[in-house]
Amino acid sequence: MSTDTSRRRFLTGVTAASLCTLRAAGVAGAVASRAGATATSAADASNDLAALTAVEAVRALASGDIGAENYARALLRRCEAGAGLNAFISLRPELVLEAARECDRKRRARARLGRLHGLPIAIKDSVNTRDLPTTAGTPALRHFQPREDAPLVRALRDQGAIVLGKNNLHELSYGWISNNYAYGAVHNPYDPSRIPGGSSGGTAASIAYRMAPLGVAEDTEGSIRVPAALCGIAGFRPTTGRYPTTAVVPISPRFDQLGPHARTVADLLLFDGALTSGPIEASPPTLRGVRLGVVRSYFWAGLDAEVERITAAGLESLRRAGAELVEGELAELHHLIDLITNEVQNHDFRPYMTRYLADYRTGVTFDQLIAQASPDIRRMVVPAIDPSDRDFVTDARYREIVNVHLPALHTMYREYFRRSGVAAIVFPATILPAPPIRGSAWEADMYVEVAGRRMPFDDAISRNIAPGSTAGLPGLVLPAGLTRDGLPVALEFDGPPGTDRDLLTLGLALEAVLGRLPPPPGAGARG
Identify the burial level of 289 via C-beta atoms within 10 angstroms of its C-beta, where 0-12 means exposed, 13-18 middle and 19 or more buried: exposed
Residues 6+ apart with CB under 8 A from 217: 124, 200, 203, 204, 223, 224, 227, 228, 235, 258, 259, 260, 261
The catalytically annotated residue of 199, 200, 462, 469 is 199
DSSP run (H or E) holding 226: helix 225-231
Predicted pLDDT of residue 1? 40
Q: Report CA dihedral (245, 249, 254, 259) to the nearest 10 degrees.
A: -50
| pLDDT at residue 46, rounded to an integer | 78
Alpha carbon distance 339, 83 (integer Å): 41
**Residue 199 appears among annotated catalytic residues:** yes
Q: Whose CA is closest to 179, among 164, 190, 194, 191?
A: 194
pLDDT at 42: 63
Question: In sequence order, what E strands does 223-349 have?
Answer: 234-237, 257-262, 291-294, 324-327
Query: What amino acid occupies position 162?
Result: I
Burial class (CB in 10 A: 0-12, 13-18, 19+), 95: middle
Candidate list 90, 173, 223, 420, residue with the active-site label: 223
Q: What is the pTM of this model?
A: 0.92
For residue 381, report the phi and psi dihedrals to the nearest 5 degrees. -80, -45
CA–CA gap between residue 77 and residue 95 (Å, rounded): 15
Query: Any idea what DSSP says for residue 403?
Result: I
DSSP letters along 339-384, please? Answer: HHHHHHHHHHHHHHHHHHHHHTT-S--HHHHHHHS-HHHHHHHHHH
Residues 6 or more apart whose CB falls under 8 angstroms from that of 81 comprise 522
Q: What is the pLDDT of residue 44?
A: 74
Contact 111, 334 (CB under 8 A): no
Active site residue 223: yes
CA-wise closest residue to 123 among 274, 315, 296, 259: 259
CA–CA separation, 169 and 185 (whole Å): 9
Pick from 110, 89, 100: nearest CA to 49: 100
Domains, the chain, ordered by start: 5-335+398-438+480-514 (3.90.1300.10), 336-397 (no CATH)
Quick one: pLDDT at residue 492? 99
Give me the pLDDT at residue 41, please. 64
CB contact at 8 A, 70 and 230: no
Q: Three-state DSSP class for 180?
A: strand
Which helix or strand (DSSP H or E) is residue 459 part of? helix 457-462
Which among 124, 374, 462, 469 is annotated as catalytic? 124
Is 2 catalytic? The answer is no
Q: Which of 326, 190, 210 is nearest to 261 (CA)?
A: 210
Query: Alpha carbon of 218 to those of 95, 153, 201, 252: distances in Å?
Result: 24, 13, 10, 12
Q: Is 78 helix (H, G, I), strand (E, B) or coil?
A: helix
pLDDT of 523 reads 83
**10-residue stretch averages of pLDDT, the chain, 527 residues long:** 37 32 35 40 79 98 98 98 98 98 98 98 99 98 98 98 98 96 97 98 98 98 98 98 98 98 98 97 96 98 98 98 98 98 98 98 98 95 95 97 98 98 98 90 80 95 98 98 98 98 98 97 68
